[in-house]
Amino acid sequence: MKRNIKLVLLILVATIYIIAGALLFFNIQSMEAPEIIINIEVGEINSETAVLNTKMDIYNPNGFEIVTENLLFVTTTPDGYEIANSLIEGGKIGAKQRKTFSEEFVFSFNGKSPDLLISKITGNIGANIFFLQKTIPLNVGIITSLENLIDELTIPSIDTSIEVLDITNEGIEINATLDVYNPNEFEINIGNISNNIETKAGKKIGSVDIAGASIPGKQKVKINVKGMLLLEAFNEKNIELNLSGKVGATIAGFEKNLSFNIKSKIIIPDVEQLLFSEDNPTILSVKIKGKFTLRGYLFEIIMEVDNTYKVDLIFRDSTSELYYVKNGYHQFIGRCNKIDDIIVKSGEKDITHCDILVPYSKFFSIDRQTDWIMNAVTSKISIVGVNQSAFFEVRGYQEINIIT
């Protein structure tokens, strides 16, 4: 009896194992292929290298654990140049679980075309359940376009300021400071530069002497250059430095060139700021002479201009007024409005004069205790050929004894 019971139990256990084995066999044979999402990005670009960031997201839809192994990642350019070849460490993925495998590769194009990257990932995905084993080969190809990456080479931005070094009849000698900012992650080179300084209407009024330059990534570089402007630049409210040339860069070992044309506004200093310089003053002296005439007392105002500049100057719309001054009080005597424009050549002196006739009725009413006679000369000074001008007033005082 006992022997029969043992036999039945043995048969029952064997049956269970056979059924379980069959179920496992059919289960592993019906193993579903995992869902694989691969993302490849290129980043951290500089002149010599870039970083290839690879992420492989694998989802196991099966009811049992799977294993990834021997994952080989190879990336080439279209002409077959290999830029990456490395094993990605695999691992186990639980049932109904997701796992991400990632790797970074530092590479260089070494002058090869970087428009496309062809990547292949090979390896095995398998399952081991007791004595049962199944393996699925993995062979995935990915094409990554880098056209947008290469096209992201951005031309630099340029801000321009100028300093007037000298003014002559030939033009305005300037020192221009170009603040050049490189918005790219990598160094760029600027070359084959041509330039014009133009009015808003496009008329050329000058240029600067500028050579090429190298600007590191995400940095600003100051470039100082010298140039010349025509004197008529003072007549313009807005002028621009028009630069054109080539901007080039080495991107992870690949050379990329791009033509550029940049316009940068230039602010011209006021004539007043230049002509009233303490370092180079224009000297205007005023003298007063007087004499009796049949019609009244005649004041002769003599104005002498000493042009210390290297450019011809013109004095326009000049007037001269006389006042008696006593105890700080000014009493108007007369005015001269008809003063001819004065053009004074560079480095020379010139004299002009005007007369103020005071009737005797007014002249003899002058208090002999008057302290001074004050002459106030106003004028607009400018550079010959320039519309812009600076207003100035010069006051001179003279003792009353010229009429006593």
pLDDT digits (tens, 9 = 90+) for 306-357: 888 889 999 988 899 988 888 878 888 889 887 888 899 998 999 888 899 9
The CATH number of domain 31-151, selected from 2.60.40.10, 3.40.1280.10, 2.60.40.1180, 3.40.50.300: 2.60.40.10
pLDDT of residue 19: 44
Q: What's the confidence (pLDDT) of residue 113?
A: 66
**Can you identify the CATH homologous superfamily of domain 157-269?**
Immunoglobulins (2.60.40.10)
Can you give the three-state secondary structure of the chain, one letter per residue? CHHHHHHHHHHHHHHHHHHHHHHHHHHHHCCCCCEEEEEEEEECCCCCCEEEEEEEEEECCCCCCEEEEEEEEEEECCCCCEEEEEEECCEEECCCCEEEEEEEEEECCCCCCCCEEEEEEEEEEEEEECCEEEEEEEEEEEEEECHHHHHCCCCCEEEEEEEEEEEECCEEEEEEEEEEECCCCCCEEEEEEEEEEEECCCCEEEEEECCCEEECCCCEEEEEEEEEECHHHHHCCCEEEEEEEEEEEEECCEEEEEEEEEEEEECCCCHHHHHCCCCCCCEEEEEEEEEECCCCEEEEEEEEEECCCECCEEEEEEEEEEEEEECCEEEEEEEECCCCCEEECCCCEEEEEEEEEECHHHHCCCCCCCCEEEEEEEEEEEECCCCCCEEEEEEEEEEHHHHC
Task: Name the more confident of 110 and 177.
Answer: 177
pLDDT of 28 above 60: no
Report the pLDDT averaged over residues 375-389. 89
Q: Domain boundaries in the chain? A: 1-28, 31-151, 157-269, 276-403
Give the pLDDT of residue 368.
Answer: 66
Q: Are 31-151 and 276-403 the same fold in CATH?
A: yes
Rounded to the nearest integer, the mean pLDDT of the chain is 79
State pLDDT tens for residues 7-20. 545 555 445 444 44
pLDDT computed for residue 237 by the predictor: 78
- Give 156-165 pLDDT, tens digit per residue: 888 888 888 8
Tell me the mean pLDDT in the region 35-58. Answer: 79
Q: Which CATH architecture has domain 276-403?
A: Sandwich (2.60)
Q: For the segment 119-147, what is each residue's pLDDT rounded down to a tens digit?
A: 888 887 777 655 445 677 777 777 777 66
- Report pLDDT for 220: 92
Q: Considering the entire predicted model, what is its pTM?
A: 0.61
Check residue 152 and give its pLDDT. Answer: 65
